[in-house]
Chain A
Amino acid sequence: AQKVTQTQTSISVMEKTTVTMDCVYETQDSSYFLFWYKQTASGEIVFLIRQDSYKKENATVGHYSLNFQKPKSSIGLIITATQIEDSAVYFCAMDDTNAYKVIFGKGTHLHVLP
């Protein structure tokens, strides 16, 4: 069975610094998709960035980028020049292509301090 694990429950960083959030996954599939979502304080959940397993290049969107290490089954989210509004819960997710479902990790709560 597929599994997504986020071991960091909470992280605190100073504003304008860089933070990395970890995520490891388990899958038997040769092709899969990995995602990061952000849940704001209001509860809203929005898509941030995605990595297709067959792509060697790390995905980048704005000040979000991914560190995809396929041999280690790892997909880290990197946020550069953090801002106060980046404070949120970040979820790692994987698409289970065989079962047509998306499974999530437990989330990492990021606190960006002024």
Chain B
Amino acid sequence: EAAVTQSPRSKVAVTGGKVTLSCHQTNNHDYMYWYRQDTGHGLRLIHYSYVADSTEKGDIPDGYKASRPSQENFSLILELASLSQTAVYFCASSGGQSQNTLYFGAGTRLSVL
């Protein structure tokens, strides 16, 4: 069974503070993704990675950084959290190319106050 684990599951942050969301997968997948979910917007891609030590910008990367120190781990970093970044964040992994079914983590609910 595919396993993608996100931590923390929920977090309250202050405006201007730094937030790090972590994701760990045991699927031996090369591809990892960070999505943001807001009501009415579906899932929007923030950053993704298809190899360790390299990340790519998705469709809404502004205000976010990503880090992929190993195949298993992928972090999303908010250097200066803002109210508009309140959302649910999902991490996912896939084998990529023709094995590109996504396996999602349980999500992290982030509230920026």
**CB within 8 Å of B: which residues of A?**
6, 33, 35, 37, 43-47, 50, 91, 93, 95, 97, 99-107
Residues of B within 8 A of A105 (CB): 42
**Smallest CB–CB gap between A25 and chain B, Å?**
14
Task: Report yes or no: B100 in contact with A102, Cβ–Cβ below 8 A.
Answer: yes
Could you say which interface size class chain B belongs to? 20 to 34
**Smallest CB–CB gap between A42 and chain B, Å?**
8
Q: Apart from A43-B107, A104-B35, list 13 A-B contacts with CB within 8 A.
A: A33-B100, A37-B104, A43-B88, A44-B104, A45-B90, A47-B101, A50-B101, A91-B42, A97-B97, A101-B58, A102-B94, A103-B45, A103-B59
Q: Does B48 contact A (CB under 8 A)?
A: yes
Q: Does B102 contact A (CB under 8 A)?
A: yes
Q: Does B43 contact A (CB under 8 A)?
A: yes
Task: Report yes or no: B100 in contact with A106, Cβ–Cβ below 8 A.
Answer: no
**Smallest CB–CB gap between B101 and chain A, Å?**
5
Q: Which of A37, A43, A100 contacts B96 (CB 8 A)?
A: A100
Q: In whole angstroms, how far apart are the Cα atoms of A99 and B31 in the complex?
A: 12
**Smallest CB–CB gap between A77 and chain B, Å?**
15
Q: In whole angstroms, how far apart are the Cα atoms of A101 and B33 in the complex?
A: 8
